[in-house]
Amino acid sequence: MTQESAVPATDIDLTRPSAARVYDYYLGGAHNFAVDREMAEQAISLWPELPMIMQANRAFLRRAVRFCIDAGVRQFLDLGSGIPTVGNVHEVARQAASDARVVYVDSDPIAAAYSKNILGSDPQTAVVQADLRRPEQVLGSPDVRSLLNFDEPIAVMMVAVLHFVSESDGPAAIIASYRDAIVPGSFLVLSHASQEGQPDKAESHRDLYRRTPTPMTMRSKSAVADLFTGFELVDPGVVFLPLWRPVSVEDVDEHPERLAGLAAVGRKR
Ligand SMILES: C[S@@+](CC[C@H](N)C(=O)[O-])C[C@H]1O[C@@H](n2cnc3c(N)ncnc32)[C@H](O)[C@@H]1O
C-alpha cells in the first residue's frame, strides 16, 4: 500500500480483512494489507477459480455499462463501487459517450479515499462514502443530487455487492427505494455470489467472509430474479457471469457454471 495517508488512520481496521481490499488483491491491485492478502490466499487455495470469477465480474460490469449507454443512459449510480481499477465505470461509459456522469458510492474508507484520489476534481464524477443500505443518505447526498438528474434515466449498479446485504437488512426494500427514485427506462445492473454452480466451494468461501465486517449471503438464481421486482429483466435474464451478452472470445467460458457468480440487468417499467 503506497498512500495510506489518503485515509484517516482511525477509519482503517488493520486487524480484519475488508471485502474491498480482498477484492483488490484478487484483481491484482496494490491497495491491500497483509491481513487482506492472507485471507485472499486462503480463499484462492480453497477455490482456485476465484481470480477468474472476479475478472468475469469486471467484464460483465463493462458489458453492462456499454449496454446501458447503447440504451441511451448517460448517468450511473455505482453502489459498492470498490477500489478503482482499470476499466472503471466512468472510463467505459465515456469511451462510448463523453457526456456520461458517474457517482461512485462505497462504505469502505479506503475505497472511497482512493476513488477520490484517482478522480480528483473531474466534474463528471463524484465519490460518496456511504452505506447503500441507507438509500435516503445516498440519494440525499449533495454530490448525488448535484451530479445526477433524477428526471432522466439512471443506471443503478449493484455489482458484486448485494451478497453483503443480508435478508435481515431487507434487500427488497432497499432496492425499492432506489427504484422509486428513478424514472422508467432506468436500469438496475446486478451481479451476485451464488451457491449455484459450485456449492461446496461457495460454502467455504462464505465461511471465510465471516472474518470481515461484511459477511456474505449467497443467493440462488430465483432469489436474484426476485430482486428485480418492478424491473423487466432484459435478455438473457439471470445467468452465470460469462453468459450475460458476451461480446468477445475472452468473455466466453466453456464451463460457465465454474464462474459461479450470477449476472442480470433489468429495465424499470
Ligand atoms: C466485491 S467489491 C465490488 C466492486 C465493484 N462493484 C465491482 O464489481 O468490481 C464489493 C464492494 O462493496 C462494498 N460494500 C460492501 N457493503 C457495502 C454497503 N453496505 N454499502 C456500500 N458499499 C458496500 C465493499 O466495500 C466493496 O468495495
AA identity, residue 218: M
pLDDT at position 8 over 70? no
Q: CA-CA distance, 266 to 210, in Å (whole number)?
A: 30
As given in the structure block, the three cell numbers for residue 169 are: 437488512
Query: Which whole number is the average pLDDT over 80-101?
Result: 92
- Nearest Cα to Cα of residue 113 among 82, 92, 158: 82
Q: Is 13 part of any domain?
A: no
194 CB less than 6 Å from ligand 1?
no
108 CB less than 6 Å from ligand 1?
yes
22 CB less than 6 Å from ligand 1?
no
- 53-87 pLDDT per residue, tens: 999 999 999 999 999 999 999 999 999 999 887 78
- b/e 129-164 (16+ beta carbons within 10 angstroms → b): bbbbbebeebbebebbeebbeeeebbbbbbbbbbbb
The rounded Å distance from CA 72 to ligand 1 centre is 26
Percent of the chain at pLDDT above 70?
96
pLDDT at position 119 over 60? yes
The rounded Å distance from CA 131 to ligand 1 centre is 9
pLDDT at position 32 over 50? yes
Point out the ligand 1 atom lying closest to the alpha carbon of residue 18: 25
User: Per the structure, how many domains does the chain have?
Assistant: 1
Q: Is 63 part of any domain?
A: yes
Q: CA-CA distance, 231 to 266, in Å (whole number)?
A: 5
pLDDT at position 2 over 60? no
Computed over every residue of the chain, the mean pLDDT equals: 92
Q: Is 40 part of any domain?
A: no
pLDDT range class, residue 10, cuts 50, 70, 90 = low
3-state helix, strand, coil in the chain (%, to 5): 45, 15, 40
Query: What CATH number has the domain bearing residue 257?
Result: 3.40.50.150
Q: CA-CA distance, 108 to 129, in Å (whole number)?
A: 7
The rounded Å distance from CA 18 to ligand 1 centre is 10
Q: CA-CA distance, 132 to 138, in Å (whole number)?
A: 7
Q: Cα-atom radius of gyration of the chain, to the nearest Å?
A: 17
Range name among 152-156, 167-171, 178-182, 254-258 with the lowest pLDDT average:
254-258
**Start-to-end Cα distance in the chain:** 44
Q: Is 11 part of any domain?
A: no
- Please, are residues 219 and 172 in contact by the beta-carbon 8 Å criterion? no
Q: Is 137 part of any domain?
A: yes
Q: Is 38 part of any domain?
A: no
Q: Is 12 part of any domain?
A: no
**Running DSSP on this structure, what letter comes out for residue 15?**
S
Residue range(s) defining the domain that contains residue 208: 49-268
Residue-level pLDDT at 6: 54
- Please, are residues 162 and 238 in contact by the beta-carbon 8 Å criterion? no
In the block, which residue shows the cell 454530490? Answer: 143
Alpha carbon 16 to its chain centroid, in Å, reads 21
Residue-level pLDDT at 237: 98
pLDDT at position 4 over 60? no
75 CB less than 6 Å from ligand 1?
no
The rounded Å distance from CA 199 to ligand 1 centre is 22
- pTM of the predicted protein model: 0.94
Cα angle vertex 50, ends 46, 51, to 5°? Answer: 130
- 192-225 pLDDT per residue, tens: 999 888 888 888 888 889 989 889 999 999 999 9
Q: Is 32 part of any domain?
A: no
Point out the ligand 1 atom lying closest to the alpha carbon of residue 108: 25
